[in-house]
Copies of this chain bind each other. A is one copy, B any other.
Amino acid sequence: MRILVANANTSEAITETCAAAARAAAAPGTEILAATPRFGAAVISTRTENAIAAHALLELLAGHAGAVEAVVLAVSHDTALDAARQLMPCPVVGMTEAACLTALMLGGRFGLVTFGGTETYREQIARLGLATRLAALRGLPVTPPQALADPEGVGVLVLDAVEAMVAEGAEAVVLGGAGLAGFDRRLQDRTPVPLLDGIACAVRMAEMLVRAAIPKPRAGSHAPPRDRATLGLSPALARLLACGG
């Protein structure tokens, strides 16, 4: 089974980190392909960059349509999730979505810890329809590079955030952001509730969906585009919009 791990940042280093996390989580027999978009922010951290990344991601995915059996969006904002689902002829899973849904199956409410501001994560979880299962959000006052440079120091901050969220009712904690990849394994023994890594959860959900062989819808707002006239898009993207997946 071939799963595309599609970064939405243009930083190759993040792509590699995500690919490694995906390979660590993948089942035997799953091949992980990783790809980086052609344009956009090195590291998405604003609404504007995220909106631009949606196009970059769709262009990237279109280039792999038919060549992979599932897509994992390796960006904690689940950028362009619904659009990618509509476009691609295979399952598409968002990393934060997958971690949140995994948390649901552990029972109770969950928390999410990430870098910086949390408002867009609150909106994202509300869009997923999961607001009543969200116990707490915490933003760490550090950046992803700092997490890479000082995993032990940042780990302590994560543990503090987890402890605070457990006190607010979180019974599992989603690690939001590729920069926290691997922190679940590093910190799990030191927390009383499960830590969920988005990439790992998404790879497992993608494998599950591939095996389920659920057909794509032919009606509704996720039915594949067809006969769409466009201007100035990449050939692969324009072709998918014109001829369907």
Contact = CB atoms under 8 A, between A and B. Distances in A.
Interface of A: 10, 25, 27, 38-43, 45-52, 54-56, 58, 80-87, 91, 93, 97-98, 101-102, 104-109, 117-120, 122-123, 126-133, 166, 169-172, 188, 192-194, 196, 200-201, 204-205, 207-209, 211-212, 214-223, 225, 228-233, 237, 241
Contact of A214 (B27, B54, B130, B196): B196
Given A47-B82, A214-B102, A41 B230 contact: yes
A222 B171 contact: yes
Contact of A211 (B27, B169, B192): B27
Given A54-B55, A106-B222, 11 more contacts: A25-B212, A39-B231, A40-B233, A48-B83, A49-B228, A51-B54, A101-B101, A107-B222, A119-B171, A130-B130, A204-B208
24 contacts: A41-B231, A47-B222, A48-B86, A48-B87, A49-B241, A51-B82, A52-B54, A52-B233, A82-B107, A91-B105, A93-B105, A102-B212, A108-B221, A119-B220, A127-B127, A129-B133, A130-B130, A166-B219, A166-B220, A192-B218, A192-B220, A193-B219, A196-B214, A207-B208
A243 B137 CA distance: 30
Nearest to A93: B105
A221 B119 contact: yes
A178 B243 CA distance: 26
A21 to B, nearest CB: 13
A106 B128 CA distance: 12
A144 to B, nearest CB: 13
A41 B132 contact: no
